[in-house]
Chain A
Amino acid sequence: MKILIIEDEREIAQSIKDYFKTNGIQCETAENYDLALTKIDSYDYDCILLDLMLPDGDGFDILKELKAKNKTEGVIIISAKENLETRLEGFNLGADDYLTKPFHLAELLVRMQALIRRKNFKGSNSIIFNEIVVEIFSKTVAVNDIKLDLTKKELDLLLFLIGNENKVLSKSAIAEHLSGDMADMLDNHDFIYAHIKNLKKKLTHAGSGDYIKTVYGLGYKWENEQ
C-alpha cells in the first residue's frame, strides 16, 4: 500500500511515515504544493494525506487538481484549521475525511484503513485476525464462527485495536477515538478501562486468544500471541 503525505512540517510527515511503516504502508512525502503536484502526476497512491496550509499554495487547489485529472485517490485532510466552513469546503472538493491537528497517529491510521476499505470495497468487507472476523457493514463480530454480542463502543474499540496491531495505544488516543466529537469534553480517560475489560472478557469467553495487552503506565496494545 502506498500513500502520499503532503505536509510542510517535515517532522510530522516523518512521524507518520515511521508509524505507518511497520504496518506495511509505504509513505512518500511532499512538503510543498509543486512537489505534491509532480508526485500526484507521476504516481498512483492508495491514499493522500493533505495539509491545507502549504508554503507555496493552498491544499484546496490540490483537491481541485485531483478532480480535474480524474484521480480517484482517497484524501484525508489533516489541518490545524478547525471550522465548519473549511470542513465543508474540503468535503465539497472531494476530500473523504478531515482530521484536525493535533491528532493521534493511531487515529489517523484507522481512519486511513477505513477509507481504503471503502475505496477498495468489492462485495464483502471484513477484517480477519486469526480466529476473529469482523464484518464492517453488518457490524458483526465472530470468533471461530461464533457471533459475539458487542456494544457499539466495544466494536469500535476492537477495530481500533486491530487496526493498530502491535502498536502501543495511549489511553487518551483510545478515549478520544471512542468519544468522537465529544473528545474535547474529556478530562478523564479512565472510562475506557471498563470497555477494555468487557471486550477482553467477551473475546476470551468466545475462545479467542488474549490479544489485548496492558502496557504499564501507558495504555494497551493488540498483539498476536507468540
Chain B
Amino acid sequence: MSNKKLLLKTTNSFLIYAVIILLIAAPVFYYICQWLYIYETDEVLLFHKGAFVNESHSNYQASDIAAWNKYNHNVTIVPDMGVTKDSIVGEMIFEAIANEKEPFRILYAPVEINGKKYTYIEKRNLVEMEGMVISVAFMFLFIIIILLIGIIWISKKSAAKIWKPFYNTLSQIEEFEIDKNSPPQFIATDIDEFDRLNKSLERLIEKNTVIYKSQREFVENAAHELQTPLALFQTKIDTLQQLDLTREQSELVGSLNKDVSRLSRLNKNLLLLSKIDNEIYLEQEAIILNEYIDKNLDFFIEQAQAKNVKINTHFKNILRTKGNTALTEVLLNNLFLNAIRHNIKNGVIDIITENNSLKFVNTGQQTPLGAQSIFNRFSKVNPSSQGNGLGLAIIKKICEINKWEIRYSFNDNLHTFEVIF
C-alpha cells in the first residue's frame, strides 16, 4: 500500500466530494431552471388567453378576427380545431428570422366569439430561455468552483497550520536516536491532542533514556567490577600451577588458564563496547589505513599460521579516512581476527583496499552467514568457536560511530566484509 501524505488525504476527500457534487448538481440545476422557465411561460400563455377572453373580444366579427390575425404575430384565432380544453405543447417551429427551427410553447384554447366556436393559439419562443438557463448555469458553476477552490485552499492552509506541530514532532522523532543526540525539544502547541502526543513522547523518551543509560552503566560497572575477581582468579591459578601437580591436575589447571583468559578477554571487549557507547573516543584524526594494516600484519600472519591460513594484501589505493585512531585499530584487528577465526585449514584471507572501501575476503564455512543477526552482540554462528560473539558487534559499533558502512556478502564460497568510508 502506498502511503499518502496526511494533508493530501484530507484535501483529496474534499476534491472528490466537490467533483461529485458538481457532476450531480450541474444537470439537476439545468433541468430545474428549464422546468421553471417553461412553467412561467405556460402561466403567461394562460394569462394572455384569460386577458383575451376578459377584454370582451366576444363581439369580434370575422373581419376583426382576420385583422387580429394579421397584426398579431404570436396569437392567432382559428376556426374551431376541435380543442375542448386548454392545452399547451412544446414544438420545434421554423423561425424565418433566425432561419432555423426553434423551440416554442404553444397554447391551444377553445374560445367563443359571437356565439361561434374558435380556437385560440398562442406561441412563445423559448430561445431566450435556453440562453438564460445556460448563462445562469454557468454563473452557478463559476460560483461553486470559486467556492470550492476557496474552501480547499483555506482548509489546506489551515490544515498545514494545524498539523505543523505534528510534523515538527514527527521530524524530531525521526532524527532521534537514543544513544546519540539529546532528547528532542517539541514546540508548544495549543491543540490538546498534539500536546498530549508531545507530552507522552517526552515521557517515553525520558523513561527510555534513563533505562538505556542505566543499562549502559550497568554493563560498564559490571565489567569493571569483574576485573578484580578475575585478577584474583588469575593470580591464584598462577600460584596453583607452581605446585607439584600430577598430570591430571596440570591439565585441569591448564584448561582453567584458558578459561580465565577467555573470560578476561570477553570482559575487556564488553568494557570496550561500553566505552564506545559512552563516546570516550571522540577525537578524530586523519588515518592512512594501509599503514595500520601493515603495522599489525606480522602479528596476524603469525596468528594465522596455526591454521596455515595465508594472508594476502592487495593495496590498489592508499586508503585515507578520518576517524578515531584507537578505534580504527580495534576495527582492523577485529576484522583480521574474524577472518582468521572463522577460516578453514589452508584457507586464504585477501585484504583489498579500493577507492573508499576496505575488503576482507576470506574462506570459511560453505554457507553464508545470516546477514541480519551477525552484527548483534553474542550472536555466534558456531557455538563452539573461541570467539565471544562481540567482535562483529564491536566492528559495527565502530563503523557507526565513525559514520562508515559495514557490509557482509557471500560469493563463490568466500565471505566478504567490506567497510565503506
Contact residues in B for A16 (Cβ distance below 8 Å): 235
- With A170-B237, A186-B303, A216-B251 given, name 5 new contacts (CB 8 A): A80-B231, A168-B242, A186-B265, A218-B250, A218-B254
A15 within 8 Å of B (CB atoms): yes
The segment from B109-117, B268-276, B356-364, B409-417 found at the interface with A is: B268-276
Give CA–CA (A100, B228) in the complex, Å. 10
B64 within 8 Å of A (CB atoms): no
Contact present for A187 and B231 (CB under 8 Å): no
Contact mask for chain B residues 228-272; partner A; CB cutoff 8 A; 1 contact, 0 none: 101111111111011001010011111101101110110011010
Contact residues of A between 100 and 120, Cβ < 8 Å to B = 100-106
B296 within 8 Å of A (CB atoms): yes
What's the nearest-Cβ distance from chain B to residue A89, in Å? Answer: 15
Give CA–CA (A182, B296) in the complex, Å. 9
Contact present for A12 and B235 (CB under 8 Å): yes
B299 within 8 Å of A (CB atoms): yes
Contact present for B386 and A104 (CB under 8 Å): no
Contact residues of A between 171 and 209, Cβ < 8 Å to B = 171-173, 176, 179, 182, 184-191, 194
Nearest CB to that of B388 among chain A residues?
A: A187
Contact present for B341 and A187 (CB under 8 Å): yes
B224 within 8 Å of A (CB atoms): yes
Give CA–CA (A180, B333) in the complex, Å. 14
* CB < 8 Å neighbour of A182 from B253, B255, B268, B333: B333
Q: How many residues of B contact A (CB 8 A)?
A: 49
Known contacts A172-B258, A184-B269, A217-B254; is A104 also within 8 Å of B238 by CB? yes
Contact present for B247 and A18 (CB under 8 Å): no
Known contacts A82-B271, A182-B299, A190-B306; is A105 also within 8 Å of B265 by CB? no
Query: 26 A-B Cβ contacts within 8 A?
Result: A9-B231, A11-B232, A15-B238, A19-B235, A19-B242, A80-B224, A82-B268, A83-B275, A84-B326, A100-B227, A102-B227, A102-B231, A105-B238, A170-B238, A170-B241, A176-B261, A184-B269, A185-B337, A186-B303, A189-B258, A190-B306, A216-B250, A217-B250, A218-B245, A218-B254, A219-B241
* CB < 8 Å neighbour of B264 from A11, A102, A219: A102
Give CA–CA (A104, B336) in the complex, Å. 26
Residues of B with Cβ closer than 8 Å to A? 224, 227-228, 230-239, 241-242, 245, 247, 250-255, 257-258, 260-262, 264-265, 268-269, 271, 275, 280, 296, 299, 302-303, 305-306, 326, 333-334, 336-337, 341, 386-387
Contact residues of A between 1 and 45, Cβ < 8 Å to B = 9, 11-12, 15-16, 18-19, 22
Contact present for A105 and B253 (CB under 8 Å): no
Contact residues in A for B239 (Cβ distance below 8 Å): 15, 18-19, 105
Contact present for B232 and A187 (CB under 8 Å): no
A213 within 8 Å of B (CB atoms): no
What's the nearest-Cβ distance from chain A to residue B91, in Å? Answer: 106
Contact mask for chain A residues 71-84; partner B; CB cutoff 8 A; 1 contact, 0 none: 00000000011111
Contact residues in B for A83 (Cβ distance below 8 Å): 275, 280
Contact residues in B for A216 (Cβ distance below 8 Å): 247, 250-251
A215 within 8 Å of B (CB atoms): yes
What's the nearest-Cβ distance from chain A to residue B313, in Å? Answer: 18
Contact residues in B for A81 (Cβ distance below 8 Å): 224
Contact present for B228 and A217 (CB under 8 Å): no
* CB < 8 Å neighbour of A184 from B238, B268, B386, B387: B268
* CB < 8 Å neighbour of B306 from A102, A103, A105, A188: A188
Contact residues in B for A182 (Cβ distance below 8 Å): 296, 299, 333
Give CA–CA (A172, B256) in the complex, Å. 11
* CB < 8 Å neighbour of B235 from A15, A179, A186: A15
A87 within 8 Å of B (CB atoms): no
Contact present for B231 and A217 (CB under 8 Å): no
Nearest CB to that of B241 among chain A residues?
A: A168
Give CA–CA (A49, B306) in the complex, Å. 37
Give CA–CA (A189, B302) in the complex, Å. 11
What's the nearest-Cβ distance from chain A to residue B235, in Å? Answer: 4
Contact residues in A for B305 (Cβ distance below 8 Å): 191, 194
* CB < 8 Å neighbour of B299 from A11, A103, A167, A179: A179
Contact present for B260 and A102 (CB under 8 Å): yes
Known contacts A101-B228, A105-B239, A219-B254; is A187 also within 8 Å of B265 by CB? yes
Contact present for A172 and B257 (CB under 8 Å): yes
Give CA–CA (A173, B235) in the complex, Å. 11
Contact residues in A for B233 (Cβ distance below 8 Å): 102
Nearest CB to that of B253 among chain A residues?
A: A218
Known contacts A172-B258, A219-B254; is A187 also within 8 Å of B238 by CB? no
* CB < 8 Å neighbour of A80 from B227, B255, B260, B337: B227
Contact residues in A for B252 (Cβ distance below 8 Å): 217
Contact residues in B for A100 (Cβ distance below 8 Å): 227
Give CA–CA (A9, B231) in the complex, Å. 10
Contact present for A9 and B228 (CB under 8 Å): yes
* CB < 8 Å neighbour of B253 from A12, A18, A194, A217: A217
Contact residues in B for A106 (Cβ distance below 8 Å): 238
Give CA–CA (A99, B295) in the complex, Å. 23
Q: Which of A9, A100, A217: most chain B Cβ within 10 A?
A: A217
Contact residues in B for A82 (Cβ distance below 8 Å): 227, 268, 271
Give CA–CA (A12, B227) in the complex, Å. 12
* CB < 8 Å neighbour of B230 from A101, A167, A187, A194: A101
Contact present for B303 and A188 (CB under 8 Å): yes
* CB < 8 Å neighbour of A218 from B228, B241, B299, B341: B241
